[in-house]
Amino acid sequence: MVLPDLEQENQSRPKDSLEPGYLVICWDDPVNLMVYVTHVFQVVFGWPKPKAERHMLQVHRQGKSVLTRESLEKAEHYVHQLQRYHLHASMERDG
């Protein structure tokens, strides 16, 4: 009897298909300056300045930006971090 190689099968599928994901969203607000929002994204996510600025501009121009897709625990962590910096952030289930 030959058993399927489950380890290889799991590795060939993207991680996203294995567990539900949660989107971390930052919403526009009339309070925080754009340079501050960029700085917070750099600190919380460890992003380089150009990526942080792209997301900040999306928040500013479109009213929100989906910052990342994570597990429930990581998404909650990021939302709490952003809220500690007084940004309007939330999460929602992806899919």
35 lies in some domain: yes
DSSP-based three-state secondary structure for 46:
coil
Provide the domain count of the chain. 1
Rounded to whole angstroms, the Cα distance separating 32 from 8 reads 47
What pLDDT is attached to residue 8?
A: 46
Task: Evaluate whether residue 4 is within a structural domain.
Answer: no
Total-model pTM: 0.79
Q: Residue 21 falls within a domain, yes or no?
A: no
- One digit per residue, the tens of pLDDT, for the chain of length 95 reads 555 544 444 444 455 456 679 999 999 999 999 999 999 999 999 999 999 999 999 999 999 999 999 999 999 999 999 999 999 999 999 97
What's the order of all strands across the beta sheet hosting 64-70? 64-70, 21-27, 88-94
Q: Does some domain include residue 87?
A: yes
If one counts every other C-beta atom within 10 angstroms of the C-beta of residue 84, the result is 11
> Which CATH number belongs to the domain containing residue 84 in this structure?
3.30.1390.10
In a domain, 19, yes or no: no
Residue 89 structural domain: 30-94
Residue 2 covered by a domain: no
Question: Where are the alpha helices (H) located in the chain, listed in sequence order?
Answer: 6-12, 34-45, 49-62, 72-84
